[in-house]
């Protein structure tokens, strides 16, 4: 997954799907200055990393963002290390507001 997220083009594709899910390859390709084949290769890497899932609708293949793997990494590696700092900031905010 980290390899998939390392590329700025793939992050851009994920951002596009975050803004509006269920896009076709043609719709995604129109947002990039890249060949259809290049965009398809990037989408394949995202699919292999399970960050994008697809569904057929007639002749179209729709691409959807799958935020679950990113959330799992957040919960495992980020959230547990920031909990104390965030709690301390909330406590500080509340104390400052009480003083006013």
Cβ proximity of 91 and 23 under 8 Å: no
Task: Please determine, for residue 19, whether its predicted confidence score (pLDDT) is greater than 90.
Answer: yes
pLDDT exceeds 80 at position 40 = yes
pLDDT value at residue 36: 95
Measured CA distances, 67 to 7, 23, 100 (Å)? 17, 16, 41
What whole-number percentage of the chain has pLDDT above 90? 67
Can you give the pTM of this predicted structure? Answer: 0.76
Cβ atoms < 10 Å from Cβ of 33: 6
């Amino acid at each position: 997954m980290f390899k998939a997220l390392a590329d700025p083009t793939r992050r851009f594709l994920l951002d596009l799907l975050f803004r509006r899910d269920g896009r076709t390859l043609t719709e995604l390709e129109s947002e990039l200055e890249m060949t259809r084949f290049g965009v398809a290769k990037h989408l394949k890497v995202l699919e292999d990393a399970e960050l994008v899932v697809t569904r057929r609708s007639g002749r179209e293949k729709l691409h959807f963002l799958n935020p679950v793997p990113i959330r799992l990494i957040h919960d495992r590696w980020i959230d547990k290390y920031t909990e104390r700092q965030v709690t301390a900031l909330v406590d500080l905010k509340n104390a400052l507001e009480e003083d006013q």
